[in-house]
Amino acid sequence: MAGLSNYTYSTLVTAIRDYTEVDANVFTETIVDGFIMAAQNRINLDLPMDSDRLQDQGQFATDNNTITMPVKLLFVRGIQVFNSTANTNGQGQWLEKRDQTFISEYIGTLTGTSGGAAGQDVTGLPKYYAMFGGATTGATRATSGAIFLAPTPDANYQYIIHYNAMPVGLGSGGDGNSNTYLSNYFPQGLLYACLVEAFMFLKGPTDMLTLYENRYKTELQKFAAMQIGRRRRDDYTDGTIRIPIESAPQ
């Protein structure tokens, strides 16, 4: 494996078997796929990344105070609403996030899971939203959940949802990608996270499990410094990072 700067699905599978010294008779493709899936999910939850930032544009339905969230949404970063039914030109305004109980009090009607209805007490351009639902399907729910709005839209206003999504991971055949953002830019952390899963499956040795758990956490710290540190700043706006160096005692 020397000289590799990143992993593909096949080279990561080989690396897992090599590091654990377990062949394909025990670590079958199905079992190793489970390690990779668990490792990727752990990283995606430990550190939301810029590569998973997406936008979804649509229109509110008049007199309906709920909308479903995009598929594979992990969390909402913000929702813009525009005082227009035709386009999203202009600055728009950001909805304020509140609890579902706040929405119920605001509109004067108990919010539920059946969606809004015509004749709500408070209508207009939405100002607040609250999350609800998830893991089910139906008219007002999706696997990623839905939101309540207040006031209830009185027109088909345009909106943009800014969110982080669960990406398609590494996988064999049509079940995933041959390489991903993580396998290209966080290969060592992805490997260590997979090895943690592998040694838990093998039920030891404990020292190896501890070793790779610590290596994963160390690499995650460095990757986080880049993802939520350096990628969120620039030298012109924030200035060059300066690291203080202590002077030798006199």
Domain boundaries, the chain: 9-49+168-230, 61-156
Confidence (pLDDT) at 110: 57
SS3 state at 44: helix
Evaluate the CA torsion angle 110, 114, 120, 124 in order and state its sign. Answer: positive
Residue 9 DSSP SS3: helix
Determine what percent of the chain is predicted with pLDDT higher than 70. 87
Digit-coded pLDDT (tens) for 190-228: 999 999 999 999 997 899 999 999 999 999 999 998 888
- How far separated are the first and last CA of the chain, in Å rounded? 49
Q: What pLDDT is recorded for position 118?
A: 41
pTM of the prediction?
0.78
Across residues 77-88, what is the average pLDDT?
87
Query: What average pLDDT does the segment 95-100 reach?
Result: 94
Per-residue pLDDT reduced to its tens digit, 28-37: 999 999 999 9
Q: What are phi and psi of 56, to 5 degrees?
A: -135, 125
pLDDT (average), residues 46-58: 91
Per-residue pLDDT, 35: 96
Spatial separation of the C-alpha atoms in residues 82 and 249, rounded to whole Å: 61
When pLDDT is cut at 50, 70 and 90, the band that residue 132 belongs to is confident
Query: Mean pLDDT lowest for which of 100-104, 216-220, 230-234?
Result: 230-234
DSSP β-bridge partners for residue 67: 147
Separation of alpha carbons 51 and 64, rounded Å: 32
Q: Residue 86 above 80 pLDDT?
A: no
Tell me what pLDDT residue 136 has: 61
